[in-house]
Structures are given as C-alpha cells and as structure tokens.
Amino acid sequence: MPIETFASRPLSSTHSLPVQARRLRALLVRSVPVLEARGIIIVLLAAVVGAFSGLAVTAMSAFVQGMHWLLFDVPEGGRLSSMFSLSHPLQAAMPAVGGLLLGLSIIWLRKSRFRTPVDPIEANALYGGRMSLTDTFIIAGQTMLSSGFGASVGLEAGYTQVGGGFGSRLARFFRMKRNDVRILVGAGAASAIAAAFDAPLTGAFYGFELIIGIYSIANVAPVMTAAICATLVTGWLGGAPFPLELSAVPKLSASQYLPFLALGLIAGGVSVAIMYMVAAVERGLSRLSIDSSLRPFFGGCAVGLLGLVTPQVLSSGHGALHREFAMSYGLTVLATVFLLKIAASVISLGSGFRGGLFFASLLLGALLGKIFAAIVLAIAPASGIDPAVAAVVGMSSMAVGIIGGPLTMAFLALESTGDLTLTGVVLAAAIMTSILVRETFGYSFSTWRFHLRGETIRSAQDVGWMRSLTVGLMMRKDVRTIAAMTTVTEFRQQVPLGSAQRVIAVDGEQRYIGMIIVSDAYGDQPDPASTVLTLTRFGDSVLVPSMNVQSAAETFHRAGAEELAVVEDFESRKVVGLLTEGHLLRRYAEELDKARRDLSGEG
C-alpha cells in the first residue's frame, strides 16, 4: 500500500489528538489574533523547538559514540577519527557492514514506495516549510547508521532534519501561517547546529542564510531564541563542545590579509572539485549498473580500506580536527590525510551513505590551511603566516564553498576563538570563496544535489508560492469559441464589433486552432468570403492549467502575445479557458508583495 506523502495530507489532523491537545491548540489559535501576540507565540514555540533540538542532538551524538565504542573499541570520551590506528584489521569491514544494512533499508523503502525525503532547505523553498515526520525519522536513522559504522559523513544533516521536522510539525499543529512555518523550520535547523557546535550565533545565522534564506526583523527573535535554548540544553546535558582549541593568535597586519584571500580562492576551487567528484562517483556507479541498494556496500569496502591507512578519514572527523589543531604534522602527513579524507567523503556520499559534508568540510579546510601555510613558509619564510590561523581560515572558507553561509562560518570562528581580528580575516576569505563558487559553479552542496535531481532552486528562498500559483487558478473559464471554418461575413454577424475583444477558433472536435482578435475581422484586409482561419494568431502557443506563473510568463514572452488560450492538455488541445498577460503579471505582483510583507513581518 503506498505511503501517504506529506503533500497529500491536510495541514493538520485533529481526530487522533488527545482532547487536551486539541483544546490547547484551539485556545492559542483563537488567542493570537485577539491579543495580537503572534510574534510572542512564535518565540515561545521556537524555545520549545530549541530545547527539543538540544535534546535530540545530544541523544543522537551519544548513540553514534556508543556505536563507535561497540564497533571500533573507541575509549570512553575518545573519538573514532582521533585514533592512530584501528584496534583490529577486521574493524575496517564495519563501513561495509553498515553499507549492507543501509542497502536493506533502501530496499524496504523502495518496496514501501517511499518518495525521496524532503530536507529543511527544500521544504522551505518549495513547500512552505511543510515536512514529514516520516522523512525525519528516515534521514535521522540512516545518518546515524552511516556515521556509526564509520562512513565518512557527518551527523549535521540528521541534526537539522530532526530540528526542522519538529519545528514544522509544531507549527502545523497550531495552524500557523506559511511564513511562520518556514521560520520555525529555520529555528529548528538553527538550534540543531547551535547545539552541535555550542555556538548560538553560528546556529542562528545558519538558519538565516541557509534554511530561511533571509535575515529580517520578523525571524531574528524566534531563531535566536531557539539557538540559545538548544545551546543551554546541550550544555546542561553535558554535550561535547566544538573541538577547536587555539593558543594565542598572533597580531595580524593588513599586509597578511592577501595570502589568506588567496587561500579563500583555493578553498573555493577545491570545494567545487569535491562537489563534482561526488556527482562523478554517482554517475560511475550508475553506469556500472550497480543497484542503489548495493552501492553503499561497495562504498563501505573502499572507505574501510582507507580507514586501515588512517582512521582519521572515518566518520565525521571531530577527533581528527582536534588533533590537527593540537599537534604539528609535516607537509607529507597533512597532504596524505587531506587526499584520503576527500576520497573517503566523496566515496561515502557518492555511493549512497546518508549524511552531510559540513564537518568534513571543516576538517578538510583546516588541513588545506595548514598545507597552504607550510608551502608559503617554505617559499617565503619572512611572510610569518601562522599555521593555526591559516587552518581556521581554510576551515571556514572550505565550509562556505561546500555548505554556503559566509556569515555563519565567520561567527563559528568568532565563537570558537573569541578573536575579532581573526574573524575579520575569516570573513574576507569566506567572501572570496563565496564569490568564486557562485560565479563558477552556482550552487552549494545541498542545492547542487537538488539540481542533480532536476530541481532548479539555488537557496531556501520561498518559491513554492510561485509554483502553486498556476494557470488553472488564474484563467477565465467564460471563453467564447467559434468554428474555424466560419466565414468572415458569418463571424461579423455572430460577433458584433464591441461585443468581445477576442474569440477562440476551434475545429469540429472543439480542438484549439488559434486566437482571433475581433477588430481584425472588421478591417479592410480580410475577404468577407474567406474563413476566419486566415485571421487566427498564436496557433502554436497555448497554456495548460498545471503551468505555474513562471512557465506561463515565459510562454507569453516567447509568443509575444497579450492573451493565450488554456487547453486541457497538449494532446487533446480542448479549450478550457483564457489568460491575459496583464492579469498574470498583476497576480504575480500581488503574491510577490505578500511574500515580501511576510518576510519583513508586515503581514
């Protein structure tokens, strides 16, 4: 039996809720307009979402750590990627075992006819923030399975899915407006990142830049509240802080900014290469006709072999990042770990393991920064570039290139180091990375994945309203038709001048032939004995009811028409309505203004 998708469900369901829960929702829904306290209600709900996200992040992290202890003999308090070697060679088979289990879950989902899960970015961009709890459980479970068995992926995708999914569900429970649902989804994802990195500002701007798509007065209070609550809950539960420990950062002069800007550009180029490599692995496995349920197994075998060389490539890389800042390695070791980690991450994601590149990008960026510093010092010892500073700049720049969000990563550097001067350098380099990736590639890793699936979204900016504003909703149904074989004389008798502006010509089976402008039939040019077929226009340009406003506008532009017929479908061409370009543009402007007012808090 097909599983019901979130898009087909009503906005909320009351029959299965306890009586007390229904009464609470009814009370709050009725109270909001009376008390004009909508903003306060959203902030209170965001606090609940943040507390839940902090709890969920702590639980998921502890579960994966427990798996590492069980499968890889990681000591209590230790990290898998901080180990110098695996305790036993057979542990290198764990990623392959995880791949088999993940493959079984893929087979089960396929038989159950589950659709592709929707993440917070896609939900906010296309569906007004509506997320399915089923999607949340699937992504969270597969992410923990992948990372727990050692695949080179991070848990951040699972964290944000849980936080965003809970925020979406809570907002829909209280029947919030479309934009309020989007804000609570952003608050949930933001609080998850804040909890994961013990950095509320980082989490908040992650929500602004990547999930909501804009920073405005309307969303700052709930998102910041959620991020702070998540951080407090995680700290209270003993969550591990972000493993970034720096000694005193040397004073940076303006002349030292230039090499770091160059590092930002290099990080951007590497980021683009990594995203292309993930897609290349996917295409390669597809061309080999390897079923999607078997790909994680083969990917796990390869990752396990890389783990035999160094466990630093396994899992998300928290321990490896700590080691990179705590110890000084030679250029050869840094380059080796850098290349192996790229290979492990690309293979893991390309073969179908569930997870993200957030933390992997931080580790890769730190390695790249240290490699860059070692090369610069070897060429120009007088430059005085500090390897630790280069590691922070590289870490942030690489994350911007892959994940996006220059302000997010600048605040991560600030909250991790507490150094404003270093934060300024990080922001400058991150902006260079962002410009390079946007101009040469155009996508972050998340939106690139959507592009590979056929979507065209480039950010979490809400374009779902544009897709739901269809021709079928805007068209006029009271259209006048006439047989295409009618003579001009007969046309003048049936359609007096001034009675209509346009008439649609159809054939004997009521199929669309073309548009007739009434004034054309009353000029001196047409032969009264000829048929109106000679007067028809736009015979090859029609609209269908399912077209959205963007597609319809493009059709008007190509045809150079002010009005077009709407047909049932392109095959039958049965006329069902008429749409003018002026009405389409007016409705588009109205919806655009409404979206603007929602974002600014005026709605």
Mean pLDDT for the stretch of residues 560-569: 87
Task: Please determine, for residue 340, whether its predicted confidence score (pLDDT) is greater than 90.
Answer: yes
The stretch 249-260 carries a mean pLDDT of 76
Question: Percent of the chain having pLDDT more than 90?
Answer: 36
What are 35-54's pLDDT values in tens digits? 445 678 899 999 999 999 99
> How far apart (Å, rounded) are the C-alpha atoms in residues 139 and 119?
9
Report the alpha-carbon distance of residue 548 to residue 84 in Å, rounded: 56
Residues 132, 279 within the same domain: no
502 & 402 share domain: no
CATH of the domain at 452: 1.10.3080.10
With respect to residue 601, please indicate whether it lies within any of the assigned structural domains. no
User: 449-471 burial by CB neighbour count: b if 16+ within 10 A, else e?
Assistant: bbeeeeeebbbbebbbbbeebbb
304 and 320 assigned to the same domain:
yes
- Whether residue 452 is found in the same domain as residue 504: no
One domain, residues 205 and 78? yes
* 66 located within any domain: yes
Percent of the chain with pLDDT over 70: 85
User: Is the pLDDT score of 16 beyond 50?
Assistant: no
Q: Cα(215)–Cα(219) distance, rounded to whole angstroms?
A: 7
As for how many domains the chain has, the answer is 3
How far lies 481's CA from each of 57, 478, 511, 515, in Å? 62, 10, 10, 9
Is the residue at 241 inside a domain? no
Residue 244 lies inside a defined structural domain of this protein: no
User: What does the pLDDT look like over 345-369, one tens digit per residue?
Assistant: 999 999 999 988 888 999 999 999 9
Q: Which residue has the tokens 């699972």?
A: 158
Selected residue with higher pLDDT from 569 and 192: 192
Amino acid 273: pLDDT: 93
Domain edge (last residue) among 189, 210, 236: 236
Q: How far apart are the first and last CA of the chain?
A: 41
220 and 287 share one domain: no
pLDDT band at 100; cut points 50, 70, 90? very high
User: 3, 5, 2, 7: which is closest to 126 by C-alpha?
Assistant: 7
13 is a domain residue: yes
**Dihedral angle at the C-alpha atoms of 391, 395, 396, 397, nearest 10 degrees?**
90
274 is a domain residue? yes
68 and 180 fall within a common domain: yes
| Neighbouring C-beta atoms of residue 339, cutoff 10 Å | 14
Q: What is the CATH number of the domain that holds 510?
A: 3.10.580.10
Give the predicted TM-score (pTM) of the model: 0.79
Q: Are residues 44 and 189 in the same domain?
A: yes
Q: With beta carbons less than 8 A apart as the criterion, state whether 425 and 260 touch.
A: yes
C-alpha to C-alpha distance for 558 and 115, rounded to whole angstroms = 35
Full domain range(s) for residue 360: 254-458
**Domain boundary pick from 443, 458, 473:** 458
Do residues 292 and 358 share a domain? yes
Gap between the Cα atoms of 209 and 120, Å rounded: 12
- Residue 147 — pLDDT band, cuts 50, 70, 90? very high
Burial 179-216 (b: 16+ CB within 10 A, else e): bbbbbbbbbbbbbbbbbbbbbbbbbbbbbbbbbbbebe
**Mean pLDDT of all residues in the chain?**
83
Same domain membership, residue 546 and residue 491: yes
Confidence of residue 603 (pLDDT cuts 50, 70, 90): low
Alpha carbons 96 and 256: distance in angstroms, whole number: 46
- HSE, side-chain direction, 13 A CA sphere, residue 66: 8
**What b/e sequence results for 4-19 when a residue is b if at least 16 CB atoms lie within 10 Å of its CB, and e otherwise?**
eebeeeeeeeeeeeee
Query: Which span out of 190-199, 250-259, 497-506 was modeled with the highest average pLDDT?
Result: 190-199
Based on the domain organization, do 272 and 142 belong to the same domain? no
Query: Are both 264 and 198 inside the same structural domain?
Result: no
447: in domain: yes
Pair of tokens at residue 329: 């390695």
Among the candidates 187, 203, 236, a domain finishes at 236
Please tell me the number of Cα atoms within 13 Å of 489 on its side-chain side: 4
- Contact partners, residue 379, CB within 8 Å, separation at least 6: none
What's the pLDDT at 553? 85
